[in-house]
Amino acid sequence: MRSTRSTVTFSNPFTLPGYPGDLPAGDYEVLVEEELLQGLSFEAYRRTATYLTVRGRGGHAGRTELRAISDSDVKEALSRDRAATEKNNHGEAAPSPQEDLK
């Protein structure tokens, strides 16, 4: 077995399939567990689990929860986050001043 950790950043609150409520924007650690495939002439691993580390809020501050999630769910949530950020950035753009046509 081996574990790999990486960090993903959400700019907006987001949801995950199978979990109630929104999670706040911020940095989240993703933990991927893989197992070594035996009997091959080269080293190869197979993903066995992916978890998102969620830190507790409010009355649960100080607690950390590993939420099982699929790799595709993480990618989809990040894609929705990018789309929401782009929409917000375009929506907040100030109109350009009109040229003086004298």
Contact yes or no for 27/7 (Cβ under 8 A): yes
pTM of the model: 0.73
The answer to whether the beta carbons of residues 66 and 53 sit under 8 Å apart is yes
75-96: per-residue pLDDT in tens?
999 999 999 888 877 655 444 4
Q: How far is CA 32 from CA 48, 64, 65, 71, in A?
A: 8, 16, 15, 9
For the stretch 25-68, pLDDT in tens is 999 999 999 999 998 889 999 999 999 999 876 666 678 889 99
Nearest to 31 by CA among 54, 8, 55, 50: 50
Interacting residues of 30 by C-beta distance below 8 A, sequence separation 6+: 5, 6, 7, 8, 50, 51, 52, 53, 74
Domain locations along the chain? 2-72
